[in-house]
Copies of this chain bind each other. A is one copy, B any other.
């Protein structure tokens, strides 16, 4: 079961430029900032209700977010739902015929465990499930 929208992942060319919009105009507060070398991104989480907006800036042009920006330009990159037990959810999604990008959970932002589903099997929406680390 999906408990809530964990975050909306948004591809940006520059986090610092985009923060003018999200911090000043939208009045959201930064909850976390992290470079995730393995995924080739710098990410910022902004608080919005029980969810977050996640701004994603590529570390280079050949990274997944870099290629997304080349192809589509800035905008929504993925939608993430929070789950309590990612192992059970992954099993459930696999059994339902969802095409998994990650066959097993991997480490995401703030020590969470995450897995992505291919948009081909989720109505064109790149979809992530997230089991937060216990502290969050």
Q: Which residues of A contact B (CB under 8 A)?
A: 1-5, 8, 10-12, 18, 21, 24-28, 48-51, 73-76, 79, 81-82, 92-93, 96, 98, 119, 122-125
Contact = CB atoms under 8 A, between A and B. Distances in A.
Given A10-B125, A21-B123, 12 more contacts: A2-B26, A3-B49, A4-B49, A5-B5, A5-B48, A8-B8, A12-B123, A18-B123, A21-B122, A25-B93, A74-B125, A76-B79
Contact of A51 (B4, B24, B125): B4
B10 A8 contact: no
A59 to B, nearest CB: 19
B124 A81 contact: no
Nearest to A122: B21
Contacts of A2: 26-28, 48
B1 A27 contact: yes
Contacts of A8: 5, 8, 79
Given A25-B93, A51-B49, A125 B76 contact: yes
A122 B18 CA distance: 9
Nearest to A74: B124
